[in-house]
Structure 1
Amino acid sequence: MGLRQHRIQKDYYLYTKPNYHIVPYLKSNWLLANMYCNKIGMRLISISTMEEHDAILKAIQNVGLSGAIFWTTGRRVDHTMYWFATGTKLNFTNWGQNEPFNRHTMQECIGIQEYDKLTWIDVNCDYNLRIMCEEDRP
């Protein structure tokens, strides 16, 4: 079954299969985005497979947010990228051209951006990006 959209409040959307919570009009830094997702019993998105990648791309396209940049749980620690939510190293990536760039060693977080396809970028964790949460997985 495909993704189903359910409007749950004015600016909040919930997608199922799997469950994603997208906040299209709210932007925050990485720490506050992470706290927001945790507060609603979810977490920032992690992408471990092409199937998850494609589901997230479809969810973003369904909300009509082409070009928007969203946070992931991805963080750089000692020159290695990890999924913060699980503590595991990235085993699947889809970096954009010339990424990860790590300008002035200030781009320690991972964002995803959709322009007909979904690409990953490293960004400064203090930037204000859109929030996309997912159900916590074991």
Structure 2
Amino acid sequence: MVNNFSFLFSLFLAFAILPDKASSECPLGWHHYGMSCFFFSHEAYDWFVSQSSCRAHNARLAEVETKAQSDTLINLAKTNGPGQSYWLRGRDDVIEGVWMWASTDRAFNYTDWYPGQPDNSGGNENCLHLYAGFGLKWNDAICTYKNRFICEKEYSGDGSEVIG
């Protein structure tokens, strides 16, 4: 009986310490989804500093392109920082009401706005975030507000990083 237990325990330890391919595809602390790696900050900064922080990691603020991706990021946000809001890469500062991804100037092809949003309350809400007060649905906010943020970098599939 002891030998069986020792064997099974050794087998369990071997599997427990083997690197998990899914988690080793992205840098430590990043989460893999699709062809991207995502990082959830623990610090709160304005949109501009958040974008710079992502760039310092060869990444950018995250884009959300599908419902499945949105659901995954929301679940990760709830796990990584319950009750926190997170900056995304969207902005409408070039043409008010025309929301685009900041680095590509591509219009959104998927949205997850909270009902009644975006509303440009106060006439100066030009940056996109997942707002905790709205169940992590999209909201427009003043870019100088401090929120946590989500960085995204592409995953190449062969273990090397591709700058996103």
TM-score range, shorter chain: 0.7 to 0.9
Runs of 4+ in 1 over 2 A off after TM superposition: 3-8, 113-118
Contact 2:85 2:136 in 1 (8 A): no
2:95 paired residue number = 78
Provide TM-score, normalisation by structure 1.
0.82
Please report how far the alpha carbon of residue 85 of structure 1 lies from its aligned counterpart in structure 2 after TM superposition.
2.4
Please report how far the alpha carbon of residue 118 of structure 1 lies from its aligned counterpart in structure 2 after TM superposition.
3.3
Cα RMSD (Å) of the superposition?
2.7
1:123 paired residue number = 141
Q: Which moved more, 1:109-118 or 1:93-102?
A: 109-118
Task: Report the residue type matching 2:67 in the other structure.
Answer: M
Please show how residues 89-128 of structure 1 align to structure 2 within 5 Å.
89-114=107-132, 117-128=135-146
Unaligned runs of 5+ in 2: 1-21, 155-162
Task: Report the residue type matching 1:98 in the other structure.
Answer: G
**Structure number with higher helix proportion:** 2
* Higher Cα radius of gyration: 2
Contact 1:57 1:114 in 2 (8 A): no
Give the aligned length. Answer: 131
Partner SS for 1:28: coil
Q: What's the % identity of the aligned pairs?
A: 21
2:64 paired residue number = 47
Provide TM-score, normalisation by structure 2.
0.70
Q: Which moved more, 1:128-137 or 1:92-101?
A: 128-137
Q: Does 2:34 match 1:14?
A: no
